[in-house]
Chains A and B, each alone.
Chain A
């Protein structure tokens, strides 16, 4: 047995809300960071015994193996509707979804917009990596103009393949949301900002303020065919100008809480 030096104290550890298992995500993918922030908030607000998480269809489909609370796997795009069903019958539970761009902004856009419009008191963590990762790198609703994917091999031509959707801006037009923000996790400062945003989103639900969504711009080195390092710079240089990082909706009751 190792002797414990009483002068030492734990300053950083795995959140209790994250199962001690090996994740399936590719090297350099930022899902792991986003998972960690969500788990940290589940710990911070002591929600493990009353949280229900919704896993999407996409790369995060196995999220139910990673978050250490009750979890429900939803059909592709339907997580906001399933979350609505849970939250409506059990308002005392903390209900969050974790969804990618194809799931949330393509096949599930109807469920997303209507949950937001209802001001459904749920929290959505939205991972935007501008590509369908799991199915092989196809065009996503958030794929940038000119971006190459397996279904836009010459780059996304907006004349035929349409334009990307800015989800936060779109939802900001509605009266239902209490908190909407776009963040990323490409460096420690941005991770702190992302943590702050997800904390506010959790706070919005816990205070009964209504719908909250945090979009996390994420990397997909595998499908972008880049090294993890290059993927970080591509996100910074290409995605952020198209998807500006900021808070879009902040309910009055959330404004003063800038705790870090």
Chain B
């Protein structure tokens, strides 16, 4: 049954991801079962055939990401989804995709780690997501949602961005966002893959053109350096054009809480309570994690008394915030790990300590 469009409907985060991909013209999904993202492949299995696309359950995460590599090489919008341990297994393929300059979308519905960890919400894959993840000198472009609607919107945009920069784009969610149901509005208009610009580099049969080679091997070091510099230039361009963030109550703020995804969602309650107690605090929520909203955080650091970073990890994004703040103000951290979700009460406590520290 087709999804109702143009009106508020209840949808699970994982299902919104899959619907967004279909609406973006994605016609190939390859995945391997892992909790808490299983509704993504389930949704594709049910609905990909309706649009004439390919759904295939792969034998492993390695195979899945390499099937994406093949489909992307053939010029089709392709994606895979997994959760933390599965994303680790995909890193080899992601490195190859990046060096071969192939666009694709990868969704990580993060769970508690390290190791097998658990299936609870977590943000402990930040380093892996934004610092490269696999071997080599590449990055994935990373966008993090804090709601089901935003999961839909970001996943949909991710395919455009991947094609624009010929690079893998990573969507970060977590067990909370993937599993919960919220009202969303699915727009009327969808992308028809037949109407997308041709990819002249694709290996889709050398008919009426010179043959194409998709490769990540450049045996002569200066050649590889040139390719890496070309890819780096695209990241620089993305830093100019693709930075996304949301700032709330930051204009008059003496303190700013920096958080993304579920951590930011929890923090909003604490921020309301702190404001009610007279603490002037705002929320800065990075949505693009790579490119990172560097200038915005640097500017905030220059005019507030302190920054408080809140994460569902032992402190990963905080390193980037410290780097951008560059000593202009104190940067404090509060986080929980192992799949434990912070409560508004403990975030409020952290805000109160921050305010007390500033008064002292």
Say yes or no: is B138 at the interface (Cβ < 8 Å to chain A).
no
CA of A74 to CA of B68 in the docked complex: distance in angstroms?
12
- Indicate if the CB atoms of A93 and B59 lie closer than 8 Å: no
Say yes or no: is A52 at the interface (Cβ < 8 Å to chain B).
yes
Given known pairs A48-B206, A93-B204, the reply for A81 and B63 (CB within 8 Å) is yes
Say yes or no: is A165 at the interface (Cβ < 8 Å to chain B).
no
Name the contact of B56 in the complex, choosing from A49, A88, A93, A111 (C-beta under 8 A): A88
Q: Could you tell me how many residues of chain A have their Cβ less than 8 Å away from some Cβ of chain B?
A: 32
B residues 181-228 in Cβ contact with A at 8 Å? 203-208, 211-217
Q: Which of A31-39, A61-69, A143-151, A228-236 contacts B (4 or more CB under 8 A)?
A: A61-69
- Indicate if the CB atoms of A84 and B67 lie closer than 8 Å: yes
- Indicate if the CB atoms of A86 and B211 lie closer than 8 Å: no
Cβ distance B69 to chain A, nearest Cβ, rounded Å: 5
B residues 1-42 in Cβ contact with A at 8 Å? 27-28, 30
Name the contact of B205 in the complex, choosing from A52, A85, A88 (C-beta under 8 A): A52
Contacting residues, chain B, for A59 (C-beta < 8 A): none
Chain A, interface SS category: mixed
- Indicate if the CB atoms of B92 and A75 lie closer than 8 Å: yes
Contacting residues, chain A, for B338 (C-beta < 8 A): none
Given known pairs A85-B71, A89-B54, A114-B59, the reply for A71 and B213 (CB within 8 Å) is yes
- Indicate if the CB atoms of A74 and B66 lie closer than 8 Å: yes
- Indicate if the CB atoms of B28 and A89 lie closer than 8 Å: yes
**Chain B, interface residues (CB within 8 Å), range:** 35 or more
- Indicate if the CB atoms of A73 and B211 lie closer than 8 Å: no
CA of A83 to CA of B54 in the docked complex: distance in angstroms?
14
CA of A48 to CA of B69 in the docked complex: distance in angstroms?
22
Cβ distance A181 to chain B, nearest Cβ, rounded Å: 24
Contacting residues, chain B, for A110 (C-beta < 8 A): 59-60, 62-63
Say yes or no: is B78 at the interface (Cβ < 8 Å to chain A).
yes
Name the contact of B71 in the complex, choosing from A49, A50, A70, A89 (C-beta under 8 A): A89
| Chain B, Cβ-Cβ closest to A57 | B217
| Chain A, Cβ-Cβ closest to B58 | A81
Given known pairs A74-B69, A88-B56, A114-B59, the reply for A93 and B205 (CB within 8 Å) is yes
Cβ distance A32 to chain B, nearest Cβ, rounded Å: 20
CA of A49 to CA of B212 in the docked complex: distance in angstroms?
11
- Indicate if the CB atoms of B68 and A49 lie closer than 8 Å: no
Say yes or no: is A90 at the interface (Cβ < 8 Å to chain B).
yes
| Chain B, Cβ-Cβ closest to A87 | B70
Say yes or no: is B74 at the interface (Cβ < 8 Å to chain A).
yes
Contacting residues, chain A, for B64 (C-beta < 8 A): 81
CA of A85 to CA of B206 in the docked complex: distance in angstroms?
18
Say yes or no: is A250 at the interface (Cβ < 8 Å to chain B).
no
* A50, A52, A71 pick with most chain B CB within 10 angstroms: A52
Contacting residues, chain A, for B213 (C-beta < 8 A): 64, 70-73
Given known pairs A49-B206, A73-B100, A89-B71, the reply for A81 and B66 (CB within 8 Å) is yes
CA of A23 to CA of B46 in the docked complex: distance in angstroms?
48
| Chain B, Cβ-Cβ closest to A67 | B211
- Indicate if the CB atoms of B70 and A82 lie closer than 8 Å: yes
Cβ distance B328 to chain A, nearest Cβ, rounded Å: 43
Contacting residues, chain B, for A92 (C-beta < 8 A): 205
A86-B73, A111-B63 given; name 15 further pairs at CB < 8 Å: A70-B206, A70-B213, A71-B203, A71-B211, A71-B212, A71-B213, A75-B69, A78-B66, A83-B70, A85-B28, A88-B28, A88-B56, A88-B70, A89-B54, A111-B66
- Ordered by A's residue number, 6 sampled pairs between the chains whose C-beta atoms are within 8 Å are A71-B214, A72-B70, A85-B78, A86-B203, A88-B28, A93-B204
List the 7 shortest-distance A-B pairs measured between CB atoms, nearest first.
A85-B70, A81-B66, A85-B67, A114-B59, A70-B203, A82-B70, A85-B71
